[in-house]
Copies of this chain bind each other. A is one copy, B any other.
Amino acid sequence: MAKDKPTKLKARMPRGLADRGPAELGSTRAMLETIRKVYELYGFEALETPFIEYTDALGKFLPDQDRPNEGVFSFQDDDEQWLSLRYDLTAPLARHVAENFDRLAKPFRSYRAGWVFRNEKPGPGRFRQFMQFDADTVGAPTVAADAEICMMAADTLEALGIARGDYVIKVNNRKVLDGVLEAIGLGGEDNAGRRLTVLRAIDKFDKVGIEGVRDLLGEGRWENPAAKSGDFTKGAGLDAAQASVVLSLLDKQAAYEKPANETYAAGLAELAEIDALVKAAGYEGRVKIDPSVVRGLEYYTGPVFEAELTFEVKDEKGRPVRFGSVGGGGRYDGLVGRFRSEPVPATGFSIGVSRLASALSYLKTADAAPEYGPVVVVVMDRDQTAHYMGLVATLRSAGIRAEMYLGNPKNLGNQFKYADRRNAPCVVIQGSDERANGQVQIKDLIEGAKAAAAITDNAEWRSSRPAQFACDEAELVAKVRELLDHHGVPHGAALG
């Protein structure tokens, strides 16, 4: 049998995952740093929990979690216990607090930034690995903690450069929703599943409108209601009277009898208290009570929040895009209590880092400067490698990003192509002639690019500063620094 060329493995990534390059990582890093500073100013402290937890410790509180084993990535440990990748940063926090309860100062105020994982069908902008940045106050029974965290969310968005008026923090209360559900006969353990279906229907208000919600509260809804085609979502099966009570939540004009139960009254009172605190602190219009906010997660027990960006931008095709929700949270008084006998009230807020970063990138495209790469020292004579590395070391010790070309140096053209692709501000060249004279050539690639683009209004600069010039080796740092400063390319100081 003839020996075939072995089949090569295909380089590919699983769906819903992504690699990230320097531009995205740089802006995300800056963003995380800003969020961190606001959270620390509020008195929250850093915490990190591991990516892997016992499946039962995480619980199953995912939104749209109809199928019990979906939504999370799970695998068995060698002792056959089930482990899962965390799907949010709240369930692991509850485990952490319960495990370290006596050691922790309470209220326990922590912030946590990190990747979470959802084993779901990926889609555009919908990843199976994404980053959240959370802050939570555990052991805080009053809505002052909820009001504070909503105001912090507003401060955070403003610190990130989102103007007042371009965002809103919406607040609702699960008790209000639960009171309504109780009033229409959906109270009690037995109706938990149907309650969730109703909540999900309300949650879709922004997407499907009032008639869509009505369908979802009744028999169900077709993806394309007019044609009765596409996916069919089964509804909650409410009758028309029940549905109209629920719908009255979303329509302020609708006349309806307020539920007379305590849950509903308690929810309204809490919302009024939050509203008063928010107004007293000068956050009126930034933090707003809004009855359409639901939040999908099952574990919320009181106030729920949603941070929404309200400004519109144009996408690549010029169509208006609204970002919508970039974070949310709420009160989850029962989550720590799963592990402990005493009740542990808690509230928190989570920023969807990737979504928010994408929104911020739209705001910043206007003033984005090109990122320059390192200064590249080309290899003219391979036996001079040590000397070229010395030139690079001199630049680096002056705080200037620099590198020697490390590919195969035979083809000089490839070396210049490399410098171009790295967006190097300049190239340093030393052939035998220059070496004999103790000199180097510096080729200004930014100037060169301008010349290539036939820009004529910098004629004066070009006449005095050609795109390539020679200087003494001893002047290398000074000349490169001058060139970088001239073009406004940032560079560090000497490392010391």
Does residue A251 face the partner (Cβ distance < 8 Å to B)?
no
Contact B109 A57 (CB under 8 A): no
* Of A94-102, A229-237, A255-263, A449-457, the one touching chain B: A94-102
Nearest B residue (CB) for A42 = B403
Compute how far the CA of A405 lies from the CA of B142 in the bound complex, rounded to whole angstroms: 11
Does residue A323 face the partner (Cβ distance < 8 Å to B)?
no
Q: How large is the interface on A (under 10, 10 to 19, 20 to 34, 35 or more residues)?
A: 35 or more
Compute how far the CA of A9 lies from the CA of B54 in the bound complex, rounded to whole angstroms: 11
Does residue A74 face the partner (Cβ distance < 8 Å to B)?
yes
Contact B95 A13 (CB under 8 A): yes
Contact A495 B77 (CB under 8 A): no
Of B19, B338, B373, the residue contacting A48 (CB under 8 A) is B19
> What chain B residues lie within 8 Å of A75 (beta carbons)?
73-75
Contact A53 B14 (CB under 8 A): yes
Q: How many chain copies does the complex carry?
A: 2
Nearest B residue (CB) for A375 = B43
Nearest B residue (CB) for A79 = B15
Contact A144 B389 (CB under 8 A): yes
Given A48-B25, A390-B281; A43-B373 close (CB under 8 Å): yes
Nearest B residue (CB) for A109 = B403
Given A74-B75, A389-B148; A13-B50 close (CB under 8 Å): yes
> What chain B residues lie within 8 Å of A396 (beta carbons)?
41-42
Does residue A62 face the partner (Cβ distance < 8 Å to B)?
no
Minimum Cβ distance to chain B for residue A124 (Å): 17
Nearest B residue (CB) for A405 = B107
Compute how far the CA of A21 lies from the CA of B44 in the bound complex, rounded to whole angstroms: 12
> What chain B residues lie within 8 Å of A246 (beta carbons)?
none
Compute how far the CA of A129 lies from the CA of B12 in the bound complex, rounded to whole angstroms: 24
Does residue A141 face the partner (Cβ distance < 8 Å to B)?
yes
Compute how far the CA of A110 lies from the CA of B94 in the bound complex, rounded to whole angstroms: 37
**Which of the listed residues A105, A399, A421, A422 has the most CB atoms from chain B within 10 Å of its own CB?**
A105
Q: Convert A30-59 into 0s and 1s, putting 1 for each residue whose CB lies closer than 8 angstroms to a CB of B.
A: 000000011011110111111111101100
> What chain B residues lie within 8 Å of A5 (beta carbons)?
341
Contact A404 B148 (CB under 8 A): yes
Of B9, B25, B73, B105, the residue contacting A418 (CB under 8 A) is B105
Contact A339 B43 (CB under 8 A): no
> What chain B residues lie within 8 Å of A13 (beta carbons)?
50, 53-54, 95, 99
Contact A140 B406 (CB under 8 A): yes
Does residue A478 face the partner (Cβ distance < 8 Å to B)?
no
> What chain B residues lie within 8 Å of A19 (beta carbons)?
47-50, 96, 100
Interface residues of A in 128-153 (CB under 8 A from B): 128-129, 137, 139-142, 144-145, 147-148
Contact B105 A421 (CB under 8 A): yes
> What chain B residues lie within 8 Å of A217 (beta carbons)?
none
Given A144-B385, A389-B277, A407-B107; A51-B48 close (CB under 8 Å): no
Does residue A340 face the partner (Cβ distance < 8 Å to B)?
yes
Given A99-B11, A389-B280; A46-B17 close (CB under 8 Å): no
20 sample A-B contacts, Cβ–Cβ < 8 Å, listed by A number? A9-B339, A12-B99, A13-B53, A14-B50, A14-B83, A20-B49, A21-B47, A25-B47, A41-B396, A42-B401, A42-B403, A43-B422, A51-B51, A52-B128, A106-B418, A107-B405, A159-B495, A277-B386, A280-B390, A281-B386
Q: Which chain A residues have a beta carbon within 8 Å of chain B's beta carbons? A: 5, 8-15, 17-22, 25-26, 37-38, 40-43, 45-54, 56-57, 73-75, 77-78, 81, 83, 85, 94-96, 98-100, 105-107, 109, 115, 117, 119, 128-129, 137, 139-142, 144-145, 147-148, 159, 276-277, 280-281, 338-341, 373-374, 376, 385-387, 389-390, 393, 396, 399-408, 418, 421-422, 492, 495
Interchain residue pairs A-B with the least CB separation, the first 5: A43-B403, A43-B374, A105-B421, A11-B98, A280-B386
List 17 additional A-B contacts (Cβ < 8 Å) besides A9-B57, A42-B402, A281-B386.
A12-B57, A13-B53, A14-B50, A14-B83, A20-B47, A41-B495, A42-B374, A42-B401, A73-B83, A74-B75, A105-B421, A137-B406, A142-B406, A147-B389, A148-B403, A159-B495, A281-B390
